[in-house]
Chain A
């Protein structure tokens, strides 16, 4: 199942993978803020290309491009919507710019937001992420639920496949029939899956209790996240981008793209 490929944990270890998830998240937050304060195409495009070095160092080009492809559909929708809107109600500041620049900027802003999150998730392993959550004082029940869910994704995917096989072997044809019929055909797959999930949860609960779940208010951890040199460098870069962004926004004139290109 290709959807689950993205979640399947691959033990890649690049520089970006080894950075503290909390620091990476701070960087993504900075991207978020800076993307929101700009409505001009030029700075947003710069922000977009700022992701690329992280993608390359992280070695996640293929997956990143795949998520880009997926986001492109929405980006086009945003572009079209904004284009129609600005055509009908041109905003004051966009007088000097060409009518496509603002909608394009909005589309690029969307891509920057989505793609910076994508880089974050592609370069952070689930257990690294849960460790970060724990150390950030997120309640343990939440992080535990998260890690366990990720742990069972491949198991559930396999089970769904087995159930489909079992029902196909009883004559169930998933491909045939009207749209409504095909939805109904998934009932023999969903029910065993749900029942199995419930049974599994009970067994997991038994195992958890048997290993002293809830014994101590203060839960300790085998691992600990420590900030290293690379993390501090990223923090500095992020703060620099943040300050630069605010400076440019309020003190520098940003020309529309039309003025820069020989059109």
Chain B
């Protein structure tokens, strides 16, 4: 059974003239690493807000269709209940951290849930260790770099041990090296702990090597949904204006010139390997 399933999900913000997402029907299996992308304004942020219940409980407006996450019908449960199963990491690292030390921030969600102190302590230590930031536990947020802050934010969500982690453009404010580190952390959580990941990203060159499922949206609708290779190689992806990996773009161009590669590459290493075979022959 899919861990996230939507059927004809449609949502209009209060006062909005047209829906921000329309007839979205997708299924995400447990343990998948999903990359969600599309041009600005396509509805990916809106969809993320639906996954953890901010829509419709925090933002009013009209939500139609069905959305089930971890066997919960989102419309029927309060946000704090959904928060045990779905964590959401936001774009701006600064505005997710409220406390004066990293470990207090990580404890925040658990304190809200009323957990006993020793349980909180155990989970906080575990989350800090899994994200590799144990030595930062006593630091205040403004003493940390953007990348470190985002890792704290991920630890905050991880401590609640959700089934699903949604990350809405978490590397926007980071440089490529910082972004790389974040993707590695997220990938480890996905591989080691089996947490289903939904990553909204524009940097497809860096993120696609971890993805087993890619969804592309445009103007509120899901346009492409499937395996990364299939999605990126389609002309539609490029025409919508999505920045597909350069490796895939090169493959498309070579196809036009009559040069075939064995597979469609989605990152630079794959492309190099496939080109070697062609050049050797």
Whether the complex brings A and B within 8 Å at their CB atoms is answered yes
- B5-13, B20-28, B104-112, B220-228: which lies at the interface: B104-112
- A94-102, A150-158, A174-182, A254-262: which lies at the interface: A150-158
Cβ-closest chain B residue relative to A158 = B142
Selected from A154, A207, A212, A216, the residue in CB contact (under 8 A) with B96 is A207
Counting chain A residues whose Cβ lies within 8 A of the other chain, the interface size class is: 35 or more
In the complex, what residues of A have CB within 8 A of residue B140's CB?
Answer: 9, 151
In the complex, what residues of B have CB within 8 A of residue A210's CB?
Answer: 52, 54, 79, 83, 87-88, 157
Enumerate B130-179 residues with CB–CB distance to A below 8 Å.
138, 140-142, 156-157, 160
Q: Are B114 and A220 interface neighbours, CB within 8 A? A: yes
Q: Are A151 and B95 interface neighbours, CB within 8 A? A: no
Cβ-closest chain A residue relative to B123 = A222
Cβ-closest chain B residue relative to A211 = B109
Enumerate A212-258 residues with CB–CB distance to B below 8 Å.
212-224
Cα distance A141–B95 when bound, in Å? 18
Report the minimum CB–CB distance from A21 to chain B (whole Å).
14
Report the minimum CB–CB distance from A195 to chain B (whole Å).
14
Selected from B58, B100, B115, B160, the residue in CB contact (under 8 A) with A206 is B58
Where chain B touches its partner, the secondary structure class is helix
Report the minimum CB–CB distance from A148 to chain B (whole Å).
5
Task: Determine if B250 is an interface residue (Cβ-Cβ < 8 Å).
Answer: no
Report the minimum CB–CB distance from A131 to chain B (whole Å).
9
Q: Are A151 and B98 interface neighbours, CB within 8 A? A: yes
Q: Are B52 and A211 interface neighbours, CB within 8 A? A: no
Q: Known interface pairs A151-B98, A204-B98. Does A220 touch B115 (Cβ–Cβ under 8 Å)?
A: yes
Cβ-closest chain A residue relative to B57 = A209
Report the minimum CB–CB distance from B56 to chain A (whole Å).
12
Report the minimum CB–CB distance from B88 to chain A (whole Å).
4
Q: Are B79 and A126 interface neighbours, CB within 8 A? A: no
In the complex, what residues of A have CB within 8 A of residue B71's CB?
Answer: none
Task: Determine if B84 is an interface residue (Cβ-Cβ < 8 Å).
Answer: yes
Task: Determine if B193 is an interface residue (Cβ-Cβ < 8 Å).
Answer: no
Selected from B87, B104, B111, B157, the residue in CB contact (under 8 A) with A220 is B111
Enumerate B29-88 residues with CB–CB distance to A below 8 Å.
49, 52, 54, 57-58, 79-81, 83-84, 87-88
Task: Determine if A147 is an interface residue (Cβ-Cβ < 8 Å).
Answer: yes
Cα distance A208–B116 when bound, in Å? 20
Q: Are B95 and A203 interface neighbours, CB within 8 A? A: yes
Q: Are B100 and A215 interface neighbours, CB within 8 A? A: no
Cβ-closest chain A residue relative to B106 = A222
Q: Are A212 and B100 interface neighbours, CB within 8 A? A: no
Task: Determine if A74 is an interface residue (Cβ-Cβ < 8 Å).
Answer: no
Task: Determine if A200 is an interface residue (Cβ-Cβ < 8 Å).
Answer: yes
Measured CB to CB, the residues of B under 8 A from A are 49, 52, 54, 57-58, 79-81, 83-84, 87-88, 90, 92, 94-101, 103-104, 107-117, 120-121, 124, 138, 140-142, 156-157, 160
Contacts A155-B142, A206-B90, A221-B111 known; 8 new A-B pairs at CB < 8 A: A125-B100, A147-B98, A151-B99, A209-B58, A209-B83, A211-B156, A219-B114, A222-B121
